[in-house]
Amino acid sequence: MCYQRGEFRVGGQDVLLGVIGKDIPVWIGATQFEYWRHTQVTIDVVPGRGAGMSLEAPEGFRFIVRSRVFTDEEAAVLEAAGDPPRGDTWVPEASGGS
């Protein structure tokens, strides 16, 4: 789902996947993150009808997610970097997002 800024409350069980552009954080639940942590996730926008109450639904576009398994080298770099921030510890100014 895509929410307008301020409409989604991030908590301690949310994991920061990354930031789109300069200031759009992308969050995933901790349980889901455990299933996806070995993959690179790419979020794309394509023409089509969005689902449910997602922000993009009435705009004629929808989000799709593509993924691939990290290489051994990429996995090693990520392992060395440690776990990504969680919603209760993330400081937007430190990562360029908000």
* 22-73: pLDDT as tens digits: 888 889 999 999 999 999 989 888 888 766 656 666 677 888 889 999 999 9
Confirm whether 29 is domain-assigned.
Answer: yes
What is the structure's pLDDT at 55?
60
Contact 51, 57 (CB under 8 A): yes
Give the separation between CA 89 and CA 15, rounded to whole angstroms: 10
Distance CA 93, CA 26 (A): 15
Q: CA-to-CA distance for 56 and 1, rounded, in angstroms? A: 9
Grade residue 97 by pLDDT with cuts at 50, 70 and 90: very low
Dihedral sign (CA 80, 89, 9, 5): negative
Quote the tokens at residue 27. Answer: 């969050």
Indicate the pTM of the whole model: 0.72
Whether 45 is in a domain gets the answer yes
Is residue 5 situated within a structural domain?
A: no
Specify if 84 maps to a domain. yes
Does some domain include residue 1? no
Q: How many domains does the chain have?
A: 1
Q: Identify the domain containing residue 76 by its residue range.
A: 14-93
